[in-house]
Amino acid sequence: MDIFNIGFLEFTFRDLIDILLVTFLVYKLYQAMSGTRAAQMIFGLILIVVISFVVEIFKLEGMTWIIRNIKTVWIIIFVIIFQPELRRLLIQAGQSKIFRPFVKLSDYKVIESLASAANELSQKRYGGLVVIARETGMKAIIETGIKLQAKVTDSLIVSIFSPRSPLHDGAVIINEDMIEAAKCILPLTQNPNVDPNFGTRHQAALGVSEETDAVVIIVSEETGKISIAHKGKLKTDLNYNSLIENLSKLLNVS
C-alpha cells in the first residue's frame, strides 16, 4: 500500500520499515563503536560509500572500475578491522532480553566456576563480592568500576579478589558467561532491620539485591563464610555443593 506517490517518487510502508531497520542497525553499530578508534575508521568507510554513489551518478568509468573491484574485499576488510567491536556487538545482542529465555547462563560450567572460586576464596579468607546480572540492567553500576569483558573462570575471580590485586575492593559484575567489570560500587541496603553485625560486603549485596533481580555471592573476609543475597534476603553458611544447588535454582539452570 502506498503512503505517498509524488510523481516518480513512490514511498510505501515497506520502505518505511526498511528505513527504520537500517537506522536502528546503524545506531546500534555507532553505540558499540562509540569512543573507540573504530568510530573514526567507520566514518572513513562511510566516506568511501558516499564517493561510490557519486561515481555511479556521474558515470566516471575509471573510478567505477576501482570501486567495483574494492567492493569484493570490503566485507573481509570490515570484519578484520572491526573484529573486537563486532564481537562486543554480538555479545550485547545475545544478552538482549529478547534472547535471554533461549540462552542459559553458560549453564552449569559457569556455576561450577563461581562455586569453585567462592570455595577457594573462603579457604584463603579472601573477601569476595560477585554480582550475577539477570533481567535488570547493571550499566550504571558497571560504570563505577573497571571494565574487563573477560570469560568467567574460577582462577580469574580468585586473582581479582586477592588482597594484592588493585581490583579486590568492590564487586565483580557477571553477565551470562562474561566478567563485565570489577571494583564496582554497590548501593548499601536501606533496610533498618538488617543485622548490624553484617559488614559492608553483606550490606552492599543486600542493597543491590533489593534494587535489582541480581543474585549476589558474598565471601566473608573475617569468617570465610559463603552467602547468597537475592531479593533482599540472605542465605548464609553455604558450602561448595549447597552454593551450586542454590545458584542452579535461582538462575534456572538444570
CA 190 to chain centre: 27
Amino acid in position 115:
A
- Residue 183 shares a structural domain with residue 146: yes
> Taking residues 119-139, what's their average pLDDT?
91
User: Do 72 and 115 lie in a common domain?
Assistant: no
pLDDT value of position 198: 83
What are 131-153's pLDDT values in tens digits?
Answer: 999 888 788 899 999 999 899 99
Any idea what DSSP says for residue 187?
P
Q: Among 14-23, 45-54, 75-84, where is mean pLDDT lowest?
A: 75-84
Q: What pLDDT is recorded for position 1?
A: 47
Counted domains in the chain: 2
Whether residue 115 is found in the same domain as residue 81: no
Say yes or no: 110 and 22 in one domain.
Answer: no
Contact in structure between 216 and 131 (CB atoms under 8 Å): yes
Supply the pLDDT for residue 54: 82
Top pLDDT among 139 and 94 is at 139
Strand locations in 109-253 (E): 128-132, 146-151, 171-175, 178-184, 215-219, 226-230, 233-238
Q: Does residue 59 have a pLDDT over 60?
A: yes
Q: Are residues 162 and 194 in the same domain?
A: yes
81 shares its domain with 119: no
Give the CA count within 13 Å in the CB-facing half-sphere of 98. Answer: 4
- The answer to whether 129 and 201 have CB atoms below 8 angstroms apart is yes
Residue 91 has pLDDT above 80, yes or no: no
Kindly state the percentage of the chain with pLDDT values over 90.
39
Is the model more confident about 18 or about 121? 121
Whether pLDDT at 118 is above 60: yes
Helix (H) or strand (E) holding 2: strand 2-6
Range of the domain at 31: 2-94
Residue 77 shares a structural domain with residue 113: no
Question: What pLDDT was estimated at residue 105?
Answer: 47
Q: Could you write out the three-class secondary structure of 57-76?
A: HHCCHHHHHHHHHHHHHHHH
Same domain membership, residue 85 and residue 37: yes
Looking at every residue in the chain, the average pLDDT score rounds to 81
pLDDT at position 76, please?
Answer: 72
Same domain, 121 and 219: yes
Provide the CATH number for the domain around residue 229: 3.40.1700.10
**Cα 171 → chain centroid:** 15
Decide the pairing of beta strands 2-6 and 171-175: unpaired
Selected residue with higher pLDDT from 77 and 232: 232
Asked if residue 118 and residue 14 are part of one domain, the reply reads no
Same domain, 123 and 181: yes
> What is the rounded CA–CA span in Å between residue 115 and residue 19?
47
Q: For 212-243, how does the pLDDT look when each residue is reduced to its tens digit (9 = 90+)? A: 889 999 999 999 999 999 998 999 999 999 99
Name the domain boundary from 40, 74, 94. 94
Residues 107 and 232 in one domain: yes
Q: Cα separation of 254 and 107, whole Å? A: 8
Per-residue pLDDT, 6: 47
The 3-state DSSP composition of the chain as helix, strand, coil percent (nearest 5) reads: 50, 20, 30
Band (86; pLDDT cuts 50, 70, 90): low
Residues 6 or more apart whose Cβ sits within 8 Å of residue 50: none
Give the model's confidence band at 158: pLDDT under 50 very low, under 70 low, under 90 confident, else very high.
Answer: very high
Cβ-contact 173, 149 below 8 angstroms: no
**Beta-bridge partner residues of 157:** none
